[in-house]
Chains A and B, each alone.
Chain A
Amino acid sequence: MINFENVDFRYDGAEEPVLSALTLRIPEGEMCLVIGPSGSGKTTLLRMINGLVPHFTGGTVSGTVSVADRSTAHHRPRDLADLVGFVGQDPFAGFVADTVEDELAYAMESLGVPTDIMRRRVEETLDLLGLTALRRRALRGLSGGEAQRVAIGAAMTAHPRVLVLDEPTSALDPSAAEDVLASLQRLVHDLGVTVVLAEHRLERVAQYADRVVLVPGGGRPVIVGTPADVLRDSALAPPVVALARTAGWSATPLSVREARRSAPQLREQLSGSTDAETVATSRPERDHSSSAIELRDVRVGYGRREVLHGTSLTIDGGQVVALMGRNGAGKSTLLSAMAGLRTPFRGRVRIAGLDPAVLAPHDLVTTVGLVPQQAADLLYAESVDLECRQTDRDAQLAPGTTAAVLARIAPWVPKNAHPADLSEGSRLAVALSVVLAPDPTVLLLDEPTRGLDLSAKDLLIQVLREAAERGRTVVLATHDVELVAEVASRTIVVADGEIVADGTTRRIVTSSPMFAPQVSKVLAPLELLTVREVESVLARTLATSERDGKDQIS
């Protein structure tokens, strides 16, 4: 269906090719998952399928890319519109119309589908994706998950034979992501649509894929194979695969179900030593008596609409706290109130005893730092390097501080690139170092793992842990349960502007299947959250059994 034949691609002015000698054949009716490190060229590969690269981006292509024997060299995206449906990273950026129904019909209108067929297909799509209740809603008012489903629907109505999706679940809460993946699954199985998707959240998608394409980046050759084969030895592996490696299973499980089947022995091995004490010591609860963040009956919102209805919250210094909850629950609003970006209608916000809304800009950066969801908003210099130097000057830091932070958390980011040209993950890394450099007392992160591959995520986790060690407080709003399981000691669940649950991460996360990380699902009822914890418990068991062995000998 999709054919890449000996394809090289290089952006204008770039020294390194993004893709080189790429030969890839994706047969009809397959669900193909494209993975790879941040900025490795996954998005470029996807956009080549319908000719957006190079027709919209420029650059030099050699070799041929063709879909159903139509070469993208001679067909512009519009000429492939009946064949390829494309859903970009940000659904809002791709919306053309203003209401859900018009958006769904747009592609069909352009293709000249007769009106009665158009009406029927819109109805079918509304049903298929569960959008019936939203049909007359304005697109601007949709939550992230709803918008993503509408974007997929809009690409589907024209009945393309290929559907290309760039990170369709990265902005979604776990249940919305399940919905989207289930509808994609249905398209592949019932209608024989070929689906190509790029995704960093392997734990969500690996089990659905028929084939995995690993794009290593830097122009190195891609690796193609079944999910189990590719993921077995890859550094990018979902927690179940990492768990299988740790436990030494021969088969590579891709889903929680498969892993649970291999797990009984491991569970037994762990249950002997997994008492509350061992687990607790592997994740120390720090007790800093000073409260870093204090919210007292805060009501805040946009215009006249109140989003948070009287939130009271105290967070101690040196903690890493996760805010979870579905799209549009009020997590971002809570963070912006903490950062003093929104003055509450009522109530009091204190960060380290100060009101962030009235702090002078210079004092603000050392008190509280926020990486917003649209990280690019923070950046305005011509290049990454200038951005770093500007930060040093603004926050009166020693020259080179910010650049050093960036080199630490994202060594792969090119220094002289324009921030707008970076991949989503790299831009986030730059914004993060800009905020981290002045070392604020309270660090707030809104969806910090969007577009980050697993190894970049590991680096981020390390950085956040270190910040907490130094007594800094970190609050992150995220849908990424694996990240929460790794770093957060406390988890707060927000729903409809209210705090519905608040407690230790272990308690909150294991008490609901939606928020549970893969490892805990595999090992339930044991309350272990991450592969790291399993490793440390195993190591301890080993040490204990060795000691026991020695005792017996002596």
Chain B
Amino acid sequence: MIRQAAARDRAVHAGAWWIWALGLAAAASLSTNWLVLITILACATAAVAWRAPSGPAWNVFRAAVVLATAVFVLRTGLGVMFGLALPGRTLLQLPELPLPSWAGGMRIGGTLTAEQLVAAMCDGLRLATVIVCLGAANCVASPLRLLRSVPSALHEVGVALVVALGLVPALGTDIARVRRVQRLRGRRTDGPLGWVALTVPVMEGALQRSLDLAASMDTRGYGRRTDSTEAVRRTSNALVLAAFLAMLVGTFFFLGMGAPRWAPWLLLSGVAAGVTGLMLGGRTRQRTRYRPDPWRTPEWLLSVTGVGVAVAAWHTAATSLGLQLPASALTWPALPPLVLLTVLAAAGAIALTPALPQEDLP
């Protein structure tokens, strides 16, 4: 084993980024305190600004920001229109639609107070922050790279997903190209007829591409198995299936039916069966990895700080009201020190990850 120089520029393990981002997202989902949300938002954006690879990855983040903004606006709008009336400073007097008495506290329109507006906006911000966190993870570590690290028993499923994800952008460029070219046949490319004429070559192209890809992958040994016995393969498949069932039932009872005592055990045994099955299944394949992403200090830092933020948020939510919007919504909220500290640590962890290698772009 050759030890590589640790300081070299490299891409950080995708799994670490996802744990980090999911931790932030979990914390955000627990909070309606806009100061906390904005801190988390800033932290996620910093990751993108410092560690996003150049190229199409940026589009992913841009799309996430657009989506988050749309969700924020929509949620605020809904809150204003349908939200519960909060007493406070009146901003606007909207016409109110009378609702029958069985609608309970529901109302449409009516008085809009500043408190109601702020509460609606904070809820919108919470959703937007979660979306931005996931968008940031997508941007700094594409799901394709994450799938490269799946256990080899799940390799086939992983590749199928990678291929499917890869076909979507290809479809977009195909449509543009075929549309341009079809103008040359003297056809209108707009209107329903134009789209019909478009679908045949585009769908055919996509199908042909998948067939080509399948043939190419097979040609290069994809899905080869060692001469393992049929029994091993069957056992592995049965174990994975049983694991899924056990986890499904276990989770259902654990969350729902007042948690009978055996539910956690069922859940645990499901996990154990799954791991065994995957390990057995992995033995029937002989795959190796070219340059597997290593898991070193930066990865540990990222994942620990990410989980740390989530734990701190959960602890704060359980013990105090620090994550909630203050009762009088218009006052400046307090920033719980534990959450602030962990978010700062998460941001610091980004700075300690190695820089991305420079792309040799033309």
Task: List residues of A whose CB falls within 8 A of some B CB.
Answer: 50, 52, 55-56, 76-79, 81-82, 84, 86, 88, 90, 93-96, 98, 101-102, 105-116, 118-119, 122, 133-138, 141, 154-155, 158, 336, 339-342, 361-362, 364-365, 368-370, 372, 374, 376-381, 391, 394-395, 420, 434-435, 438
A91 and chain B: residue at smallest CB distance: B216
A113 touches B288 (CB 8 A): yes
A381 and chain B: residue at smallest CB distance: B200
B62 CB-CB contact with A under 8 Å: no
Please name all residues of chain A whose beta carbon is closer than 8 Å to the beta carbon of B211 when the two chains form the complex.
Answer: 56
Please name all residues of chain A whose beta carbon is closer than 8 Å to the beta carbon of B187 when the two chains form the complex.
Answer: 361, 394
User: Considering the chains assembled together, what is the distance between the CA atoms of A89 and B182 in angstroms?
Assistant: 24
User: Considering the chains assembled together, what is the distance between the CA atoms of A420 and B181 in angstroms?
Assistant: 17
User: Considering the chains assembled together, what is the distance between the CA atoms of A136 and B291 in angstroms?
Assistant: 13
A391 touches B360 (CB 8 A): no
Please name all residues of chain B whose beta carbon is closer than 8 Å to the beta carbon of A76 when the two chains form the complex.
Answer: 218
A341 touches B218 (CB 8 A): no
Q: Give the size category of B's interface with A.
A: 35 or more
Q: Given A78-B223, A115-B288, output 17 extra A-B contacts at Cβ < 8 Å.
A: A50-B219, A52-B215, A78-B222, A84-B219, A93-B209, A93-B213, A94-B219, A106-B220, A110-B223, A118-B288, A137-B361, A138-B55, A341-B180, A365-B186, A374-B177, A379-B201, A380-B197
User: Considering the chains assembled together, what is the distance between the CA atoms of A336 and B226 in angstroms?
Assistant: 51
Please name all residues of chain B whose beta carbon is closer than 8 Å to the beta carbon of A369 when the two chains form the complex.
Answer: 184
What are 20 inter-chain pairs, A to B, with CB distance below 8 A? Answer: A52-B219, A78-B222, A78-B224, A81-B218, A94-B213, A107-B220, A110-B221, A110-B223, A112-B287, A113-B288, A115-B289, A137-B360, A137-B361, A137-B362, A339-B184, A361-B185, A362-B186, A364-B184, A370-B184, A394-B186
Interface flags for B200-220 (1: CB within 8 Å of A; 0: not) read 110011001101111111111
User: Considering the chains assembled together, what is the distance between the CA atoms of A376 and B287 in angstroms?
Assistant: 37
Please name all residues of chain A whose beta carbon is closer than 8 Å to the beta carbon of B209 when the two chains form the complex.
Answer: 93
- The 4 closest A-B CB pairs, nearest first, are A81-B221, A112-B286, A105-B290, A110-B221
B213 touches A364 (CB 8 A): no
A77 touches B186 (CB 8 A): no
B118 CB-CB contact with A under 8 Å: no
Residue in B184, B292, B360 whose CB lies within 8 Å of A365? B184
B234 CB-CB contact with A under 8 Å: no
Please name all residues of chain A whose beta carbon is closer than 8 Å to the beta carbon of B144 when the two chains form the complex.
Answer: 98
A56 touches B288 (CB 8 A): no
Please name all residues of chain B whose beta carbon is closer than 8 Å to the beta carbon of A116 when the two chains form the complex.
Answer: 2
User: Considering the chains assembled together, what is the distance between the CA atoms of A508 and B220 in angstroms?
Assistant: 43
Please name all residues of chain B whose beta carbon is closer than 8 Å to the beta carbon of A365 when the two chains form the complex.
Answer: 184-186
A363 and chain B: residue at smallest CB distance: B186
Residue in A78, A82, A391 whose CB lies within 8 Å of B218? A78
Please name all residues of chain B whose beta carbon is closer than 8 Å to the beta carbon of A96 when the two chains form the complex.
Answer: 213, 216-217, 220, 222
Point out which of B186, B224, B289 has the most chain A C-beta atoms below 10 A from its C-beta.
Answer: B186
- From known contacts A378-B184, A435-B184, infer whether A119 and B290 are also in contact, taking CB-CB under 8 Å: yes
Please name all residues of chain A whose beta carbon is closer than 8 Å to the beta carbon of B214 when the two chains form the complex.
Answer: 56
B286 and chain A: residue at smallest CB distance: A112
User: Considering the chains assembled together, what is the distance between the CA atoms of A341 and B183 in angstroms?
Assistant: 8
- From known contacts A98-B144, A137-B360, infer whether A110 and B220 are also in contact, taking CB-CB under 8 Å: yes
B331-362 interface (Cβ within 8 A of A): 357, 359-362
Please name all residues of chain A whose beta carbon is closer than 8 Å to the beta carbon of B290 when the two chains form the complex.
Answer: 101-102, 105, 108-109, 115, 118-119, 122
B315 CB-CB contact with A under 8 Å: no
User: Considering the chains assembled together, what is the distance between the CA atoms of A527 and B217 in angstroms?
Assistant: 49
B65 CB-CB contact with A under 8 Å: no
User: Considering the chains assembled together, what is the distance between the CA atoms of A336 and B180 in angstroms?
Assistant: 9
B248-291 interface (Cβ within 8 A of A): 285-291
Please name all residues of chain B whose beta carbon is closer than 8 Å to the beta carbon of A420 when the two chains form the complex.
Answer: 204, 208
B89 CB-CB contact with A under 8 Å: no
- From known contacts A136-B359, A377-B201, infer whether A361 and B186 are also in contact, taking CB-CB under 8 Å: yes
Q: In whole Å, how far is A32's beta carbon from the nearest beta carbon of chain B? A: 19
B330 CB-CB contact with A under 8 Å: no
Q: In whole Å, how far is B8's beta carbon from the nearest beta carbon of chain A? A: 14
Q: In whole Å, how far is B151's beta carbon from the nearest beta carbon of chain A? A: 14
Interface flags for B287-300 (1: CB within 8 Å of A; 0: not) read 11111100000000
User: Considering the chains assembled together, what is the distance between the CA atoms of A137 and B166 in angstroms?
Assistant: 17
Residue in B166, B218, B287, B357 whose CB lies within 8 Å of A109? B287
User: Considering the chains assembled together, what is the distance between the CA atoms of A77 and B289 in angstroms?
Assistant: 21
Q: In whole Å, how far is A203's beta carbon from the nearest beta carbon of chain B? A: 29
B218 touches A93 (CB 8 A): no
Q: In whole Å, how far is B202's beta carbon from the nearest beta carbon of chain A? A: 9
Please name all residues of chain B whose beta carbon is closer than 8 Å to the beta carbon of A155 when the two chains form the complex.
Answer: 220
User: Considering the chains assembled together, what is the distance between the CA atoms of A141 and B213 in angstroms?
Assistant: 18
A378 touches B220 (CB 8 A): no
B35 CB-CB contact with A under 8 Å: no
B178 CB-CB contact with A under 8 Å: yes
Please name all residues of chain B whose beta carbon is closer than 8 Å to the beta carbon of A378 when the two chains form the complex.
Answer: 181-182, 184-185
A377 touches B186 (CB 8 A): no
User: Considering the chains assembled together, what is the distance between the CA atoms of A361 and B189 in angstroms?
Assistant: 9
User: Considering the chains assembled together, what is the distance between the CA atoms of A462 and B287 in angstroms?
Assistant: 54
Interface flags for B155-193 (1: CB within 8 Å of A; 0: not) read 000000000001000000000011011111111110000
B219 touches A81 (CB 8 A): yes
A376 touches B221 (CB 8 A): no
A95 touches B216 (CB 8 A): yes
Q: In whole Å, how far is B290's beta carbon from the nearest beta carbon of chain A? A: 3
B224 touches A79 (CB 8 A): yes
User: Considering the chains assembled together, what is the distance between the CA atoms of A93 and B211 in angstroms?
Assistant: 9
A379 and chain B: residue at smallest CB distance: B201
User: Considering the chains assembled together, what is the distance between the CA atoms of A155 and B215 in angstroms?
Assistant: 13
Q: In whole Å, how far is A471's beta carbon from the nearest beta carbon of chain B? A: 21
B182 touches A109 (CB 8 A): no
Please name all residues of chain B whose beta carbon is closer than 8 Å to the beta carbon of A102 when the two chains form the complex.
Answer: 290
Q: In whole Å, how far is A6's beta carbon from the nearest beta carbon of chain B? A: 25
B220 touches A154 (CB 8 A): yes
Please name all residues of chain B whose beta carbon is closer than 8 Å to the beta carbon of A93 when the two chains form the complex.
Answer: 208-209, 212-213, 216
- From known contacts A136-B357, A136-B360, A141-B362, infer whether A82 and B182 are also in contact, taking CB-CB under 8 Å: no
Please name all residues of chain A whose beta carbon is closer than 8 Å to the beta carbon of B201 when the two chains form the complex.
Answer: 376-377, 379-380
User: Considering the chains assembled together, what is the distance between the CA atoms of A76 and B235 in angstroms?
Assistant: 25
Point out which of B166, B209, B223 has the most chain A C-beta atoms below 10 A from its C-beta.
Answer: B223
A111 touches B221 (CB 8 A): yes
User: Considering the chains assembled together, what is the distance between the CA atoms of A155 and B221 in angstroms?
Assistant: 11
Please name all residues of chain A whose beta carbon is closer than 8 Å to the beta carbon of B2 when the two chains form the complex.
Answer: 116
User: Considering the chains assembled together, what is the distance between the CA atoms of A55 and B357 in angstroms?
Assistant: 42
B199 and chain A: residue at smallest CB distance: A380
A88 touches B197 (CB 8 A): no
B360 touches A107 (CB 8 A): no
Residue in B208, B224, B226 whose CB lies within 8 Å of A81? B224
User: Considering the chains assembled together, what is the distance between the CA atoms of A113 and B291 in angstroms?
Assistant: 12
Please name all residues of chain A whose beta carbon is closer than 8 Å to the beta carbon of B182 when the two chains form the complex.
Answer: 377-378, 380
Residue in B186, B204, B217, B361 whose CB lies within 8 Å of A364? B186
User: Considering the chains assembled together, what is the distance between the CA atoms of A76 and B217 in angstroms?
Assistant: 12
User: Considering the chains assembled together, what is the distance between the CA atoms of A337 and B264 in angstroms?
Assistant: 67
Q: In whole Å, how far is A159's beta carbon from the nearest beta carbon of chain B? A: 12
User: Considering the chains assembled together, what is the distance between the CA atoms of A86 and B215 in angstroms?
Assistant: 10
A88 touches B221 (CB 8 A): no
B221 touches A56 (CB 8 A): no
Please name all residues of chain B whose beta carbon is closer than 8 Å to the beta carbon of A368 when the two chains form the complex.
Answer: 184
Please name all residues of chain A whose beta carbon is closer than 8 Å to the beta carbon of B186 when the two chains form the complex.
Answer: 361-362, 364-365, 394-395, 438
B226 and chain A: residue at smallest CB distance: A112
- From known contacts A110-B221, A110-B222, A135-B360, infer whether A77 and B288 are also in contact, taking CB-CB under 8 Å: no
